[in-house]
């Protein structure tokens, strides 16, 4: 069952065009020129209930704009959004009961009052029965360790604590859909991990649909099975993380340590080997997985050298995404880098 359906979604803004220099400033005082900027253009996708989807793209790609349209903050210029049977912008109030939103960059809690008071206000805003409220808080506390800072004013919280409190506030009313806009930005490894586990738990136990934007690729690897990548407002990829890696990340790196330094490794070059680097007794061989396998490379090497140790590194997902971004920016050069 699709919980989110997006059809031909487009958002464009009119932005005032500024001329340079003093003359330009005066000109724009009287004669303003506007420029149309398309932040999101003609995007289509469906998301099923219970999915965790990563929404990726470089800065300024239109990720936040999409999230804001999905959560009802912005109106689409064109196209339709259906979230759980409602159109977010025109049914904003009912829609808000179905969704939870966390913006990593800013808090939705009251700055000067303790977390507990903020959460209690949320309870009244969403009309959550007290017994449910207490039960949910207890569950959240188990994963997020809220009790440690629940009576501290928000302004005195660390970023990690604030993030945990914000997550809790967004989930108190048990929304169907959770939007996370860079939920792990600026957090340390332990808190990041904590938050990921929590999101996973919520997803498993309540079948909450999660859409998150992030620049941290380990968020994607640990949480999502599906990613949507957009660039300059258009969708460039929609599929599983595995598929993404296979398409864009067929390169692997094998690091081989030999007993003696190899003087001449030119014999290694065969179809599929991309480049070889050497540092003392260690060889770094980058190859195309679909053309040559690591065992073949090792066999060739073992015939001639004494191998002490080796490791194989898969392409990191952020490397994959990076290549995708570069490719869409400059298809020729990136294409060159990819196929030798």
Query: Residue from 19, 35, 48, 112 that binds other proteins (CB under 8 A)?
Result: 112
Residue number with CB closer to other proteins (99 or 171): 99
Site for other proteins in 1-40 (CB under 8 A): 13
**Sign of dihedral through CA atoms 36, 40, 41, 42?**
negative
Query: Counting contacts by CB under 8 A, is residue 106 touching other proteins?
Result: yes
Residue number with CB closer to other proteins (113 or 255): 113
Site for other proteins in 72-91 (CB under 8 A): 72-75
Give Cβ neighbours of residue 303 (< 8 Å, ≥ 6 apart).
Answer: none
Give residue 186's region: left, alpha or beta (phi > 0; psi -120 to 50): left
Residue number with CB closer to other proteins (5 or 108): 108
CB of 206 to other proteins, least distance (A): 19
Burial call 11-34: b when 16+ CB within 10 Å, e when fewer? bbeeeeeeeeeeeeeeeeeeeeee
Residue number with CB closer to other proteins (74 or 212): 74
23-31, 122-130, 190-198, 324-332 -> range binding other proteins (CB under 8 A): 122-130
Task: Decide the pairing of beta strands 307-314 and 251-258.
Answer: antiparallel
Tell me the per-residue interface mask from 56 to 75 with other proteins, x by CB under 8 A, - otherwise.
Answer: ----x---x---x--xxxxx
Query: Counting contacts by CB under 8 A, is residue 108 touching other proteins?
Result: yes
Query: Residue from 23, 36, 93, 130 that binds other proteins (CB under 8 A)?
Result: 93
Cα 226 from Cα 302, distance rounded (Å) = 39
Query: Residue from 82, 91, 110, 139 that binds other proteins (CB under 8 A)?
Result: 110
Site for other proteins in 134-163 (CB under 8 A): 153
101-109, 142-150, 188-196, 259-267 -> range binding other proteins (CB under 8 A): 101-109
Query: Counting contacts by CB under 8 A, is residue 41 touching other proteins?
Result: no
Query: Residue from 5, 27, 92, 222 that binds other proteins (CB under 8 A)?
Result: 92
Q: How many C-beta atoms surround the C-beta of residue 52 within 10 A?
A: 24
**Sign of dihedral through CA atoms 185, 188, 191, 192?**
positive
Closest CA to 149 of 137, 161, 138: 161
Query: Counting contacts by CB under 8 A, is residue 132 touching other proteins?
Result: no
124-132, 139-147, 204-212, 304-312 -> range binding other proteins (CB under 8 A): 124-132
- DSSP symbols for 27-58: HHHHS-EEEEEEEEEEEEEEEETT-EEEEE-S
Distances from the Cα of 132 to the Cα of 126, 172, 203, 212, 315, angstroms = 12, 9, 18, 26, 45
Stretch (H or E) spanning 292: none
Closest CA to 179 of 244, 258, 100: 100
Query: Counting contacts by CB under 8 A, is residue 129 touching other proteins?
Result: no
Interface with other proteins (CB under 8 A): 13, 60, 64, 68, 71-75, 92-94, 96-97, 99, 101, 103, 105-106, 108, 110-113, 117, 120-121, 124-127, 153
């Amino acid at each position: 069952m699709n919980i989110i359906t997006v059809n031909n979604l487009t958002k464009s803004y009119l932005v005032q065009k500024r001329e340079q220099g003093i003359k330009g400033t005066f000109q724009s005082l009287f004669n303003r020129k506007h420029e149309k900027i398309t932040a999101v253009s003609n995007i289509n996708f469906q998301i099923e209930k219970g999915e965790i989807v990563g929404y990726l793209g470089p800065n300024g790609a239109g990720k936040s704009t999409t999230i804001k349209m999905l959560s009802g903050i912005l109106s689409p210029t064109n196209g339709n959004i259906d979230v759980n049977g409602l159109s977010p912008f025109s049914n904003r109030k009912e829609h808000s009961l179905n969704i939870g939103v966390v913006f990593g960059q800013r808090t939705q809690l009251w700055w000067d009052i303790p977390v507990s008071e903020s959460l209690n206000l949320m309870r009244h805003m969403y009309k959550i029965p007290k017994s449910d409220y207490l039960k949910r808080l207890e569950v959240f506390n188990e994963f997020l360790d809220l009790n440690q800072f629940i009576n501290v004013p928000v302004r005195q919280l660390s970023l990690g604590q604030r993030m945990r409190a914000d997550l809790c506030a967004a989930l108190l009313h048990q929304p169907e859909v959770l939007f996370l806009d860079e939920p792990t930005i600026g957090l340390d490894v332990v808190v990041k991990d904590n938050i990921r586990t929590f999101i996973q738990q919520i997803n498993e136990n309540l079948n909450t649909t999660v859409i998150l934007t992030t620049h941290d690729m380990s968020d994607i690897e640990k949480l999502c099975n599906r990613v949507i990548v957009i660039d300059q407002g258009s969708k460039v990829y929609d599929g599983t993380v595995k598929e993404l890696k296979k398409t864009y990340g067929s390169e692997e790196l094998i690091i081989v340590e030999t007993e003696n330094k190899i003087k001449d490794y030119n014999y290694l070059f065969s179809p599929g080997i991309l480049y070889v680097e050497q540092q003392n007794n260690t060889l770094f061989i980058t190859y195309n997985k679909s053309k040559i396998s690591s065992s073949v490379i090792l066999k060739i090497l073992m015939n001639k050298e004494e191998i002490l140790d080796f490791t194989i590194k898969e392409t990191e997902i952020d490397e994959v995404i990076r290549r995708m971004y570069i490719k869409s920016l400059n298809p020729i050069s990136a294409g060159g880098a990819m196929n030798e």
